[in-house]
């Protein structure tokens, strides 16, 4: 049984990982690294994002 294509996270395309313009990899903040977003599920980060002076996400 696979995941319904409609529920795959559009931000990370189901991988659970994102990368910035310098190819630094980090866990997807939309799906919390799960790769799927169920209908009605909140896509807001559970905590404020931490960034460094170059605005890179700190995991």
- Structure confidence by residue, pLDDT tens digits, 10-55: 999 999 999 888 888 888 888 888 999 888 877 776 667 777 887 7
> Rounded CA gap, 33 and 55, in Å?
20
Q: Of how many residues is the chain composed?
A: 59
**Residue 8 reports pLDDT greater than 90:** yes
**Residue 1 reports pLDDT greater than 60:** no
DSSP, collapsed to helix, strand or coil, labels residue 48 as coil
pLDDT at residue number 40: 80
Residues with Cβ < 8 Å from 26, sequence gap 6 or more? Answer: 17, 18, 19, 20, 57, 59
């Amino acid at each position: 049984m696979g995941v319904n294509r409609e529920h795959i996270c559009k931000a990370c395309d189901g991988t659970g990982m994102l990368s910035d313009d310098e190819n630094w990899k980090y866990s997807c903040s939309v799906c919390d690294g799960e790769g799927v977003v169920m209908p009605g599920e909140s896509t807001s980060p559970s905590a404020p994002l931490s960034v460094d002076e170059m605005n890179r996400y700190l995991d």
